[in-house]
A and B are shown apart, each in its own frame.
Chain A
């Protein structure tokens, strides 16, 4: 029972990070039907920028809390700029190209960003500066840290903010209208280019927040970290129904919990043959099962002509 509760807590933390990243995939897909495979790399750059900014400031003697805030701010702003540039440079010229073209471009951009990061930050694992004090809590035999609590709170607040933006503001209404019928939205006076750019910028900001949380949680970062994280967040978005915001959130949390429970019990289940380092297989089992039996995901609409 201890293990069960413990793994639920761990899964919730990991899952809320997946959810934030998954929202970036699902927003862009919802508006233009594109899987932006470079999104994981945006998250990675968010993490590495934070290391540089917060790390340097702390070394220069700035209080940790301030440095953390500065790191987060710079990281969010850089990722927003990066998301905007990606759309402007890589995807907008391909707006009317066959569907496969922007998809391949996305994979290409992902490789480009990884290599750029490798050039800037090097090949080695980097230590993420400790931005939060290590405080432990215990509840019903399960242990958790202040960092975990803050990750869940921040991602919850960020997602609430996003829902407010999408469902309660004019920009959000324009984004929903554009995702349903871009030609008519344009007739209503919506500048489609701006709405698409906004989806990229907002998704990248969420990715940056996720990137800072991943760094704080694992205390380590690397130029290739965005690949697996991005793939899992993509899985979460597919699980929830790609294009659907609530789906991405639920999908992220579910995937985190499935993974954590899988990692917690895989040793017992296989008689010790497979250990918890095999936890990655659960995400991909989920992806395969969803694609085989319910490709539209938990909340997805049955449109199907978007690839």
Chain B
């Protein structure tokens, strides 16, 4: 479904991503793991056109998307949950969710999907009228994921959904992410928490200094001694 070939990202002279190639099949949850600064977020930003890649191609559902406008990416069916959540602090929870459906015009179906998001995250229903800025970090992460779902994406890109959250909240968030995946969503997950990411995904790519150094089934990577030493602290 998503094909990334030879993607290259640089900031000035600094090479953040060095010509990486990976793919995500329909219905799969694929993790991209690696240490801080390995180039994971840059990869995701280049795929979602927030930044321009220096080189390489991105194809989605067979269509080349590496040159479209950033605001058209979501129209192709890719929704990014950005690092740090990026909720609109002075919009209400409900308005944030409706912003997620900005590209849609089917009012009745939007209301339907709103209920679907509240089913995934009952906490958001309780906070519906509250300003998003007043939510806790975990609630904001729920909101950011719910907002991305509101566009009815074909694929979800998650950038560090566990970042800065208490362990219990991380568990809750990942429970829902697995549920969303089980409901058929294609997901590309970026995580520093390698154990969690490998336990949740089917396949994974390991990034190091802007390159993909390992890839394969998540279960197998979880047992790989190199991965265990480098990312699982053993």
Q: Do A and B come from one complex?
A: yes
Q: Give which listed residue, B69, B75, B88, B95, contacts A184 with CB less than 8 A.
A: B88
Contact indicator per residue, chain B 139-183, by CB within 8 Å of chain A (1) or not (0): 000000001000100000000000000000000000000000000
B148 CB → nearest A CB, Å: 9
Question: Do A188 and B74 touch across chains, with their CB atoms under 8 A apart?
Answer: yes
> B105: nearest residue on chain A (CB-CB)?
A170
CA distance A174 to B96 in the complex (A): 10
Question: Do A187 and B48 touch across chains, with their CB atoms under 8 A apart?
Answer: yes
Question: Do B102 and A170 touch across chains, with their CB atoms under 8 A apart?
Answer: yes
A182 CB → nearest B CB, Å: 10
Question: Do A188 and B70 touch across chains, with their CB atoms under 8 A apart?
Answer: no
Chain B residues with Cβ below 8 Å from A185 are 88, 99
A170 CB → nearest B CB, Å: 7
Question: Do A189 and B71 touch across chains, with their CB atoms under 8 A apart?
Answer: yes
CA distance A184 to B103 in the complex (A): 14
Question: Which of A168-189 touch B at CB < 8 Å?
Answer: 170, 173-174, 176-177, 180-181, 183-189
Question: Do B74 and A187 touch across chains, with their CB atoms under 8 A apart?
Answer: yes
Query: Is the C-beta of A191 less than 8 angstroms from some C-beta in chain B?
Result: yes
Query: Is the C-beta of A77 less than 8 angstroms from some C-beta in chain B?
Result: no
Query: Is the C-beta of A190 less than 8 angstroms from some C-beta in chain B?
Result: yes
Question: Do A183 and B86 touch across chains, with their CB atoms under 8 A apart?
Answer: yes
Residue in A170, A185, A189, A190 whose Cβ sees the most chain B Cβ within 10 Å: A189
Question: Do A189 and B151 touch across chains, with their CB atoms under 8 A apart?
Answer: yes
Query: Is the C-beta of B89 less than 8 angstroms from some C-beta in chain A?
Result: yes
Tell me the dominant secondary structure on chain A's binding face: helix
Question: Do B71 and A177 touch across chains, with their CB atoms under 8 A apart?
Answer: no
Query: Is the C-beta of B210 less than 8 angstroms from some C-beta in chain A?
Result: no
Chain B residues with Cβ below 8 Å from A187 are 48, 50, 70-71, 73-74, 79-80, 82, 86
Contact indicator per residue, chain B 58-92, by CB within 8 Å of chain A (1) or not (0): 00000000000111111100011010001111110
CA distance A173 to B87 in the complex (A): 13
B122 CB → nearest A CB, Å: 24
> B157: nearest residue on chain A (CB-CB)?
A187
Q: Give which listed residue, A176, A180, A183, A190, contacts B102 with CB less than 8 A.
A: A190
CA distance A272 to B90 in the complex (A): 50
CA distance A191 to B151 in the complex (A): 16
Question: Do B71 and A184 touch across chains, with their CB atoms under 8 A apart?
Answer: no
Question: Do A177 and B91 touch across chains, with their CB atoms under 8 A apart?
Answer: yes
Chain A interface residue count, CB cutoff 8 Å, equals 17
Query: Is the C-beta of B98 less than 8 angstroms from some C-beta in chain A?
Result: yes
> B144: nearest residue on chain A (CB-CB)?
A184
Question: Do B69 and A191 touch across chains, with their CB atoms under 8 A apart?
Answer: yes
Chain B residues with Cβ below 8 Å from A176 are 88, 90-91, 95
Query: Is the C-beta of B100 less than 8 angstroms from some C-beta in chain A?
Result: yes
Chain A residues with Cβ below 8 Å from B74 are 187-189
Query: Is the C-beta of A192 less than 8 angstroms from some C-beta in chain B?
Result: yes
Question: Do A190 and B98 touch across chains, with their CB atoms under 8 A apart?
Answer: no
Question: Which of B12-57 touch A at CB < 8 Å?
Answer: 48, 50
A241 CB → nearest B CB, Å: 13
> A174: nearest residue on chain B (CB-CB)?
B102
Question: Do A186 and B70 touch across chains, with their CB atoms under 8 A apart?
Answer: yes
Question: Do B73 and A180 touch across chains, with their CB atoms under 8 A apart?
Answer: no
Chain A residues with Cβ below 8 Å from B102 are 170, 173-174, 188-190
CA distance A191 to B71 in the complex (A): 6
Question: Do A192 and B99 touch across chains, with their CB atoms under 8 A apart?
Answer: no
CA distance A183 to B70 in the complex (A): 9
CA distance A37 to B61 in the complex (A): 47
B227 CB → nearest A CB, Å: 31
Chain B residues with Cβ below 8 Å from A191 are 69, 71
A297 CB → nearest B CB, Å: 16
Beyond A185-B88, A191-B69, 11 extra complex contacts between A and B, CB < 8 Å: A173-B95, A173-B98, A173-B99, A173-B102, A176-B95, A177-B88, A180-B90, A181-B86, A184-B82, A186-B50, A188-B102
A-B contact pairs, 29 of them (CB 8 A): A174-B99, A174-B102, A177-B88, A180-B88, A180-B89, A180-B91, A183-B86, A184-B82, A184-B87, A185-B88, A186-B70, A186-B71, A187-B48, A187-B50, A187-B71, A187-B73, A187-B80, A188-B71, A188-B74, A188-B99, A188-B102, A188-B103, A188-B147, A188-B151, A189-B75, A189-B151, A190-B71, A190-B102, A191-B69
Q: Which A residues are within 8 Å of any B CB, using their own CB? A: 170, 173-174, 176-177, 180-181, 183-192
Q: Which B residues are within 8 Å of any A CB, using their own CB? A: 48, 50, 69-75, 79-80, 82, 86-91, 95, 98-100, 102-103, 147, 151
Of all A-B residue pairs in the complex, the 5 with the closest CB atoms, nearest first, are A189-B103, A184-B86, A189-B74, A180-B88, A188-B102
